[in-house]
Amino acid sequence: MNRIIALARITFLNGLRRNAVWGLCLFALVLEICGMFFVDFFGRDLGRVISDFQFSIMWAAGMIFILFYAVQAIAWDEGHRSIDSILARPISRTEYVLGTMAGLSLLLLCFEVLLGGLAAAELLWARSLVGEAYFPVFSGLHFCVAWGGLQLILLAHLTVAMLISAVIRGAFPVMLITLAYSLICSGLPVVRASMSQAHGGNASDQGMVTVLQGMGMLFPDFGRLDLKDAVLSHEGIEALIGMQAWLPFSMIVLYMVLILFLACLIYQRRDIL
Amino acid sequence: MIQFIEVHKTYPKQINRSPAKHALKGVSFALNQGKTLGLIGQNGAGKSTSIRLIMGYMRPDQGEVIVLQDEKNNPSLRQQIGYLPETSTFPPNLTCMELLYFAGRCCDMPRKAIAERAETLLKRLGIWHDRNRRLSEYSKGMQQRASFAAALIHDPQLLILDEPMSGLDPIGRSEIIELIHDLRSQGKSILFCSHLLDDVERITGHVAILHQGNVLYDGAIANLCADHSDWSIDMRNGETISVKHEEKLSLILHQHADQIVGMRQIGENLQDAFVRVIREYQP
């Protein structure tokens, strides 16, 4: 555990001192502040517009962090040979993958806490400005759950980026495959829904439906963790997603554990040239 | 401490890249406890591959690499190994102290022990005053010293140094050689690679010459050079005759005994011996 913490610490410190990470953070904060200008343009849906906008910025900033910074973590170490210096310590490959993942996750979470805090403050400010008639509900607890769901989506993408980094060399291919994974994850539920609508219970398409359902194991539907509507809703989260709230959370956590296990297993067996 | 037994390693062919390369072809050598071994060879001879196998970054295709009596190369063994890589690259935004703290914590050293050991090492290596600067601001020589400190922070029994003098100025090289001598006197086992054969001669008396994945020589430098020493004979008329073979030497001594004013043996140095061994190699 000491080794994982030590590695997570240097990954975190190294990232924290990167100008690009600070630049992205500042850019996202400025964009969030721009959300205040919506107050003058929207009436009754003001809360929903601001909430959607803030969550979209948090998601986009997190994805940019993953696709342009986190995917480089292992590739940089291998390309610049700093992995030689790191693995010269009594660190196993598994500890290396877990330590790097922990450091990057911590960095991402710190970044998202800042953005999330500003988003919540802005929603409260907008509500106080326009009054309850235009902004009837704001649930702090639901905001935290929605924020947690978003973080799980981002962490799942980060975990997949670690798996791909463990399999192939080079930051660019890792970035492309992670991006493709993300696009498939968002597109698959749409394809599934259109298949079932177009063909109903047609037996000849049953095979395709099974394939699509099987693909759902590899490319999960992250839409179930997209709970931003709950922030402004009278209804509970269960009513929104149609199942117990803990279920999608625990399924994604299990998915991440399996992906990380696979990443460690593959990296353990790979030659570091 | 280290044993290579008939080790083979081939790098697989890569798409759009170089074909498969047989990097090691049945390499055998050993480093015993408390000894120093210099691994020398041209670029691509297999030195770095050997070191990467020792460190467990790769696995041999055939043969055995036994490090500290362990064939499986367990990562925990590295608690007794100090490794200085050829290219000393670290996460660039860390300071030297953060690097040493990381290296120490990985070996389960307490914070206080890390701080004390870091102070001793960094003062010895001359970068104590720069300890809180980022590594990206260090010169190449300073990075090499920081890397050396990281390799020694846990006081390892076995040291593996890949080009330890690279990037160092002449004063820095002398200091590192002195440090290596100190480590030898403390009973550490040292395996090192270097292209600077003068430095190799200053550090160790035992070398293994690697060439195209084969060990061409493994033994004492003195033995390698002794068989190929020249004799220089000074004649009364001021002329100097250089003789390579002992038969010819005895003939000259017999024929010109009255004209000889002096003679001396000029030993081959490691550089000459290395070039000779490589040129004599017939695959």
A100 at B interface, C-beta within 8 A? no
- Please, are residues A66 and B39 in contact by the beta-carbon 8 Å criterion? no
A128 at B interface, C-beta within 8 A? no
Q: What is the pLDDT of residue A43?
A: 62
Which has more confidence, B243 or B98? B98
Q: What is the pLDDT of residue A240?
A: 59
Q: What is the pLDDT of residue A108?
A: 92
A10 at B interface, C-beta within 8 A? yes
Q: What is the mean pLDDT of residues A247-268?
A: 88
Query: Could you tell me the pTM of the whole model?
Result: 0.79
- Longest CA–CA separation in chain A, Å: 64
Chain B residues touching residue A88 (CB < 8 angstroms):
55, 78, 81-83, 85, 151
Q: Which of A2, A7, A89 to mutate to test the interface with B (most CBs of B within 10 A)?
A: A89
A13 at B interface, C-beta within 8 A? yes
- Please, are residues A2 and A94 in contact by the beta-carbon 8 Å criterion? no
CB contact under 8 A, B108 and A13: no
Nearest CA in chain B to A84: B85
Share of chain A above pLDDT 70, in %: 89
Angle, vertex CA A69, rays to CA A67 and CA A72, nearest 5: 95
Give the minimum alpha-carbon distance from B57 to chain A in angstroms, rounded to a whole number.
5
**Tokens read off for A271:** 């030659």
| Phi/psi-derived region of residue B215, left when phi > 0, alpha when psi is between -120 and 50, beta in every other case | beta
Give DSSP secondary structure letters for A63-78.
HHHIIIIITHHHHHHH
Beta bridge partners of B167: none
Query: Rounded to an integer, what is the distance from CA B271 to the centroid of its chain?
Result: 14
CB contact under 8 A, B98 and A10: yes
ipTM over 0.85: no
Q: What is the mean pLDDT of residues B230-240?
A: 79
CB contact under 8 A, B59 and A271: yes
Mean pLDDT of chain B: 83
Q: Is the pLDDT of residue B80 over 90?
A: no
Q: Which amino acid is at B181?
A: H
Centre a 10 Å sphere on the Cβ of residue A4 and count the other Cβ atoms it contains: 21
Chain B residues within 8 A (CB-CB) of chain A? Answer: 11, 52, 55-59, 75-79, 81-83, 85-94, 98-99, 101-103, 105-108, 134, 147, 150-151
For residues B227 and B245, give the distance between their C-alpha atoms in angstroms, rounded to a whole number. Answer: 10
A85 → closest Cβ in B56, B90, B93: B90
Share of chain A above pLDDT 90, in %: 20
Nearest CA in chain A to B84: A85
- Please, are residues A157 and A63 in contact by the beta-carbon 8 Å criterion? yes
Q: What is the mean pLDDT of residues B11-38?
A: 79
User: In this predicted model, what pLDDT tens digit does every residue of A158-169 receive, in sequence order?
Assistant: 999 999 988 888
Give the minimum alpha-carbon distance from B129 to chain A in angstroms, rounded to a whole number.
21
Mean pLDDT of chain A: 83
Q: Is the pLDDT of residue A263 over 60?
A: yes
Q: Is the pLDDT of residue A199 over 70?
A: no
pLDDT tier at A246, thresholds 50, 70, 90? confident
